[in-house]
Amino acid sequence: MRLLRKITRSLRKRGLVGTLVTCVRSLPELVPHRSPVHWWDEQCNVDTEETANIGDLEIYPGGDDLSAVMYMPIEPEVFQMVMEALPGAVQGCTFIDYGSGKGRALLLASHYPFAQILGVEFAVELHHTALRNIQQYRSRVVQECKAIRPILSDATQFRPPAGDLVVLFHNPLARSLMEKVLAILSEHRGAIRIISVGAEIDSDGELGFKPVVRHQRFTIYSRSPAQVSTRVSDSQVLLQRADEAADPGTRPRRD
Protein backbone atom coordinates (compact mmCIF):
# COMPACT_ATOMS: atom_id res chain seq x y z
CA MET A 1 0.00 0.00 0.00
CA ARG A 2 2.77 2.41 0.99
CA LEU A 3 4.62 1.65 -2.22
CA LEU A 4 1.45 2.30 -4.27
CA ARG A 5 0.92 5.63 -2.53
CA LYS A 6 4.54 6.56 -3.20
CA ILE A 7 4.22 5.71 -6.90
CA THR A 8 0.95 7.68 -7.26
CA ARG A 9 2.55 10.69 -5.59
CA SER A 10 5.60 10.42 -7.85
CA LEU A 11 3.44 10.13 -10.99
CA ARG A 12 1.65 13.30 -10.00
CA LYS A 13 4.89 15.11 -9.28
CA ARG A 14 7.27 13.73 -11.93
CA GLY A 15 5.06 12.21 -14.63
CA LEU A 16 5.56 8.69 -16.08
CA VAL A 17 9.09 9.14 -17.46
CA GLY A 18 10.32 10.92 -14.31
CA THR A 19 8.85 8.18 -12.12
CA LEU A 20 10.49 5.43 -14.20
CA VAL A 21 13.87 7.20 -13.98
CA THR A 22 13.48 7.56 -10.17
CA CYS A 23 12.56 3.86 -9.84
CA VAL A 24 15.65 2.75 -11.79
CA ARG A 25 17.84 5.06 -9.69
CA SER A 26 16.45 3.64 -6.43
CA LEU A 27 16.93 0.00 -7.44
CA PRO A 28 20.29 -0.43 -5.64
CA GLU A 29 18.64 0.68 -2.37
CA LEU A 30 15.87 -1.90 -2.79
CA VAL A 31 18.27 -4.82 -3.25
CA PRO A 32 18.96 -6.19 0.25
CA HIS A 33 22.48 -5.60 1.50
CA ARG A 34 24.44 -8.87 1.65
CA SER A 35 26.40 -9.00 4.86
CA PRO A 36 29.43 -11.29 5.20
CA VAL A 37 27.41 -13.56 7.47
CA HIS A 38 24.84 -14.28 4.77
CA TRP A 39 27.80 -15.07 2.63
CA TRP A 40 28.93 -17.57 5.30
CA ASP A 41 25.55 -19.34 5.13
CA GLU A 42 25.73 -19.42 1.37
CA GLN A 43 29.27 -20.69 1.26
CA CYS A 44 28.53 -23.40 3.84
CA ASN A 45 25.21 -24.37 2.21
CA VAL A 46 23.21 -23.81 5.39
CA ASP A 47 20.35 -21.69 6.71
CA THR A 48 21.32 -20.15 10.05
CA GLU A 49 21.22 -16.38 9.59
CA GLU A 50 17.56 -15.41 9.69
CA THR A 51 16.39 -14.47 13.18
CA ALA A 52 13.10 -15.75 14.63
CA ASN A 53 10.78 -14.67 17.43
CA ILE A 54 10.47 -17.51 19.89
CA GLY A 55 6.84 -16.53 20.53
CA ASP A 56 6.02 -17.54 16.93
CA LEU A 57 7.52 -21.02 17.27
CA GLU A 58 6.31 -24.34 18.65
CA ILE A 59 8.09 -25.13 21.90
CA TYR A 60 9.06 -28.62 23.08
CA PRO A 61 6.42 -29.88 25.56
CA GLY A 62 7.28 -28.77 29.07
CA GLY A 63 9.66 -26.12 27.76
CA ASP A 64 9.58 -22.76 29.44
CA ASP A 65 9.39 -20.12 26.72
CA LEU A 66 8.42 -17.23 28.99
CA SER A 67 11.90 -15.86 29.08
CA ALA A 68 13.09 -16.62 25.59
CA VAL A 69 12.85 -13.75 23.17
CA MET A 70 14.57 -14.54 19.98
CA TYR A 71 16.79 -16.79 17.93
CA MET A 72 19.88 -14.98 16.77
CA PRO A 73 22.98 -16.84 15.54
CA ILE A 74 26.47 -16.24 16.87
CA GLU A 75 28.77 -14.30 14.57
CA PRO A 76 31.45 -16.62 13.13
CA GLU A 77 34.10 -14.00 13.96
CA VAL A 78 33.03 -13.93 17.62
CA PHE A 79 33.07 -17.73 17.78
CA GLN A 80 36.60 -17.75 16.38
CA MET A 81 37.73 -15.12 18.91
CA VAL A 82 36.23 -17.21 21.70
CA MET A 83 38.05 -20.33 20.58
CA GLU A 84 41.33 -18.45 20.27
CA ALA A 85 40.87 -17.12 23.82
CA LEU A 86 39.76 -20.43 25.33
CA PRO A 87 42.46 -21.63 27.73
CA GLY A 88 43.49 -25.27 27.47
CA ALA A 89 42.99 -28.05 24.95
CA VAL A 90 39.61 -29.31 23.79
CA GLN A 91 40.55 -32.88 22.89
CA GLY A 92 38.38 -35.31 24.80
CA CYS A 93 35.90 -32.60 25.84
CA THR A 94 32.21 -32.40 25.03
CA PHE A 95 31.04 -29.08 23.58
CA ILE A 96 27.51 -28.13 24.60
CA ASP A 97 25.56 -25.20 23.17
CA TYR A 98 22.63 -24.41 25.48
CA GLY A 99 19.98 -22.91 23.18
CA SER A 100 21.59 -24.13 19.96
CA GLY A 101 19.00 -22.68 17.54
CA LYS A 102 19.74 -23.56 13.93
CA GLY A 103 23.08 -25.09 14.87
CA ARG A 104 25.57 -22.48 13.71
CA ALA A 105 27.74 -22.74 16.84
CA LEU A 106 27.65 -26.54 16.57
CA LEU A 107 28.99 -26.35 13.02
CA LEU A 108 31.65 -23.82 13.95
CA ALA A 109 32.70 -26.02 16.88
CA SER A 110 33.08 -28.98 14.52
CA HIS A 111 36.33 -27.45 13.25
CA TYR A 112 37.95 -28.19 16.60
CA PRO A 113 38.83 -31.66 17.90
CA PHE A 114 36.06 -32.06 20.48
CA ALA A 115 35.09 -35.61 21.39
CA GLN A 116 31.46 -34.76 20.66
CA ILE A 117 29.26 -31.72 20.09
CA LEU A 118 25.78 -31.40 21.59
CA GLY A 119 23.17 -28.71 21.12
CA VAL A 120 20.10 -28.27 23.32
CA GLU A 121 17.21 -26.40 21.73
CA PHE A 122 13.55 -26.23 22.73
CA ALA A 123 12.05 -24.62 19.60
CA VAL A 124 10.96 -27.50 17.35
CA GLU A 125 11.40 -25.71 14.03
CA LEU A 126 14.89 -24.44 14.90
CA HIS A 127 15.91 -27.94 15.99
CA HIS A 128 14.77 -29.39 12.64
CA THR A 129 16.63 -26.67 10.76
CA ALA A 130 19.77 -27.55 12.75
CA LEU A 131 19.41 -31.22 11.77
CA ARG A 132 19.13 -30.21 8.12
CA ASN A 133 22.07 -27.81 8.37
CA ILE A 134 24.31 -30.53 9.79
CA GLN A 135 23.42 -32.82 6.88
CA GLN A 136 24.00 -30.13 4.26
CA TYR A 137 27.05 -28.39 5.73
CA ARG A 138 30.11 -28.03 3.56
CA SER A 139 33.22 -26.13 4.43
CA ARG A 140 36.69 -25.61 3.08
CA VAL A 141 38.01 -26.08 6.60
CA VAL A 142 38.26 -29.67 7.82
CA GLN A 143 35.63 -30.79 10.32
CA GLU A 144 37.69 -32.28 13.13
CA CYS A 145 34.61 -33.54 14.95
CA LYS A 146 31.69 -35.05 13.12
CA ALA A 147 29.88 -36.37 16.19
CA ILE A 148 27.35 -33.52 16.24
CA ARG A 149 24.01 -34.11 17.93
CA PRO A 150 21.28 -31.49 18.32
CA ILE A 151 18.85 -32.47 21.09
CA LEU A 152 15.25 -31.26 21.29
CA SER A 153 14.79 -30.40 24.97
CA ASP A 154 14.42 -27.59 27.42
CA ALA A 155 17.82 -26.57 28.75
CA THR A 156 16.71 -27.17 32.33
CA GLN A 157 15.68 -30.77 31.55
CA PHE A 158 18.95 -31.71 29.88
CA ARG A 159 21.68 -33.54 31.82
CA PRO A 160 25.25 -33.22 30.49
CA PRO A 161 27.27 -36.38 29.79
CA ALA A 162 30.18 -37.38 32.03
CA GLY A 163 33.62 -35.92 31.31
CA ASP A 164 35.08 -32.50 30.70
CA LEU A 165 32.83 -29.87 29.16
CA VAL A 166 33.11 -26.69 27.15
CA VAL A 167 29.74 -24.96 27.43
CA LEU A 168 28.39 -22.11 25.32
CA PHE A 169 25.69 -19.73 26.52
CA HIS A 170 24.85 -17.24 23.79
CA ASN A 171 22.05 -15.15 25.26
CA PRO A 172 19.87 -18.18 25.65
CA LEU A 173 18.13 -18.11 29.01
CA ALA A 174 16.57 -15.78 31.54
CA ARG A 175 18.29 -15.46 34.90
CA SER A 176 15.99 -17.90 36.71
CA LEU A 177 16.49 -20.63 34.08
CA MET A 178 20.20 -19.93 33.89
CA GLU A 179 20.46 -20.45 37.64
CA LYS A 180 18.81 -23.88 37.28
CA VAL A 181 21.22 -24.90 34.50
CA LEU A 182 24.24 -23.59 36.42
CA ALA A 183 23.11 -25.52 39.50
CA ILE A 184 23.04 -28.71 37.39
CA LEU A 185 26.47 -27.91 35.96
CA SER A 186 27.86 -27.21 39.42
CA GLU A 187 27.14 -30.83 40.34
CA HIS A 188 29.08 -32.10 37.33
CA ARG A 189 32.24 -34.03 38.14
CA GLY A 190 34.41 -33.08 35.16
CA ALA A 191 36.19 -29.81 34.44
CA ILE A 192 33.95 -27.13 32.94
CA ARG A 193 34.77 -24.10 30.88
CA ILE A 194 31.80 -21.85 30.21
CA ILE A 195 31.75 -19.32 27.39
CA SER A 196 29.13 -16.68 28.00
CA VAL A 197 28.33 -14.31 25.15
CA GLY A 198 26.11 -11.41 26.16
CA ALA A 199 25.45 -12.13 29.85
CA GLU A 200 27.29 -12.45 33.14
CA ILE A 201 26.89 -15.74 34.99
CA ASP A 202 27.45 -16.78 38.59
CA SER A 203 28.22 -13.15 39.46
CA ASP A 204 28.68 -13.88 43.18
CA GLY A 205 30.96 -16.85 42.39
CA GLU A 206 28.83 -19.06 44.62
CA LEU A 207 28.89 -21.99 42.22
CA GLY A 208 32.64 -21.84 41.74
CA PHE A 209 32.77 -20.62 38.15
CA LYS A 210 35.69 -18.19 38.02
CA PRO A 211 36.11 -15.71 35.15
CA VAL A 212 39.41 -16.51 33.45
CA VAL A 213 39.06 -14.43 30.27
CA ARG A 214 37.14 -11.18 29.99
CA HIS A 215 36.53 -9.75 26.54
CA GLN A 216 34.22 -6.97 25.39
CA ARG A 217 31.98 -9.54 23.67
CA PHE A 218 32.26 -12.55 25.97
CA THR A 219 33.54 -13.96 29.25
CA ILE A 220 35.07 -17.39 29.79
CA TYR A 221 34.64 -19.04 33.18
CA SER A 222 36.40 -22.09 34.45
CA ARG A 223 35.77 -24.57 37.20
CA SER A 224 38.20 -27.39 37.77
CA PRO A 225 37.04 -30.85 38.83
CA ALA A 226 38.64 -30.64 42.29
CA GLN A 227 36.14 -27.93 43.26
CA VAL A 228 33.36 -30.37 42.51
CA SER A 229 34.94 -33.34 44.18
CA THR A 230 34.93 -31.50 47.52
CA ARG A 231 31.14 -31.68 47.27
CA VAL A 232 31.29 -35.43 46.65
CA SER A 233 31.87 -37.93 49.41
CA ASP A 234 34.01 -40.17 47.20
CA SER A 235 37.52 -39.34 48.43
CA GLN A 236 39.07 -41.34 45.58
CA VAL A 237 37.75 -38.82 43.12
CA LEU A 238 39.43 -36.11 45.16
CA LEU A 239 42.82 -37.86 45.01
CA GLN A 240 42.53 -38.78 41.38
CA ARG A 241 41.67 -35.23 40.38
CA ALA A 242 44.10 -33.42 42.71
CA ASP A 243 46.89 -33.21 40.14
CA GLU A 244 44.52 -31.79 37.54
CA ALA A 245 42.99 -29.23 39.79
CA ALA A 246 44.68 -25.94 38.95
CA ASP A 247 43.34 -25.07 35.56
CA PRO A 248 42.09 -27.10 32.60
CA GLY A 249 44.72 -25.20 30.60
CA THR A 250 47.54 -26.94 32.46
CA ARG A 251 46.11 -30.40 31.96
CA PRO A 252 47.71 -32.82 29.53
CA ARG A 253 46.27 -32.98 26.05
CA ARG A 254 44.39 -36.17 25.33
CA ASP A 255 45.12 -36.52 21.67
Ligand X SMILES: C[S@@+](CC[C@H](N)C(=O)[O-])C[C@H]1O[C@@H](n2cnc3c(N)ncnc32)[C@H](O)[C@@H]1O
Among 41, 64, 164, 202, binds ligand X (CB under 6 A): 64
Contacts of 166 (CB under 8 A, 6+ apart): 86, 90, 93, 94, 95, 96, 114, 192, 193, 195
82 near ligand X (CB under 6 A): no
Q: Report 23-62 residues binding ligand X (CB under 6 A).
A: 54
Among 121, 219, 223, 251, binds ligand X (CB under 6 A): 121
Among 96, 123, 182, 201, binds ligand X (CB under 6 A): 123
- Radius of gyration over alpha carbons of the chain, in Å? 23
Q: Report 153-212 residues binding ligand X (CB under 6 A).
A: 154-155, 170-173, 177
CB hemisphere CA count around 15 (13 angstroms)? 2
Contacts of 178 (CB under 8 A, 6+ apart): 169, 199, 201
251 near ligand X (CB under 6 A): no
Q: What is the DSSP letter of 102?
A: T
Among 120, 145, 194, 201, binds ligand X (CB under 6 A): 120
Q: At 115, phi and psi to the nearest 5? A: -75, -40
Least distance CB 233 / ligand X (angstroms): 31
Contacts of 95 (CB under 8 A, 6+ apart): 106, 109, 112, 114, 116, 117, 118, 145, 165, 166, 167, 168
Among 10, 37, 38, 72, binds ligand X (CB under 6 A): 72
Nearer to ligand X, 156 or 224 (CB): 156
The contact set with ligand X (CB under 6 A) reads 54, 63-64, 68, 71-74, 97, 99-101, 104-105, 120-123, 126, 154-155, 170-173, 177
